[in-house]
Amino acid sequence: MRCDLAQTLKEHGIKPSVQRMAVAHYVLATDEHPSADQVFAAVRRTLPMLSRATIYNTLNLFVQKGLLRELVLAPGKVVFDPKLDRHHHFIEDATGRIHDVPWDAVRVSKVDALEGFDVREYQVVMRGRASRRAH
């Protein structure tokens, strides 16, 4: 996977660089939904001179190029999600923790027939308690 990273970036029209590789390495590998600051902290461990501006530039570039999705699910919580496959999201009331919900776990119908709207993408956002083991 490591050696494919540069390739993955190029496929999305992103010129690879040390910093971008490091960000991609972290953010594409994790199961978490990290915030910009979490990414900053994590990548900084391997690249201590990394600047805050670069993190934001890079994350925004990735979003723009379709490599990441930007999720805004709770006040003050912007979070990034590797855009591998479509899925929905479940947010725990108590902790704010975000879980992925498989695309097929719920079914949404009639979205395409929406009068007056041309839906490019959609997702279901659910809130509540995690009733069993944390997924």
Partner DNA sequence: ATGACGATTAGACTACGTCTAATATTGGAA
Partner DNA sequence: TTCCAATATTAGACGTAGTCTAATCGTCAT
The site for a second copy (CB under 8 A) is made up of 70, 72-78, 90, 93, 99, 101, 105-111, 114-133, 135
Reading the block at residue 14, the tokens are: 């992103």
Question: Which one, of 62, 80, 63, lies nearest residue 71 by Cα?
Answer: 80
Contacts of 26 (CB under 8 A, 6+ apart): 34, 39, 42, 43
Tell me how far apart the 2 most distant CA atoms of the chain are, in Å: 51
CB of 15 to DNA, least distance (A): 5
> Residue 2 binds which one of DNA, a second copy, none, with CB within 5 to 8 A depending on kind?
none
Residue 19 near which of a second copy, DNA, none (CB within 5-8 Å, type-dependent): DNA
Binding residues (CB under 7 A) for DNA: these are 15, 17-20, 35-37, 47, 49-54, 56-58, 60, 75-76, 78
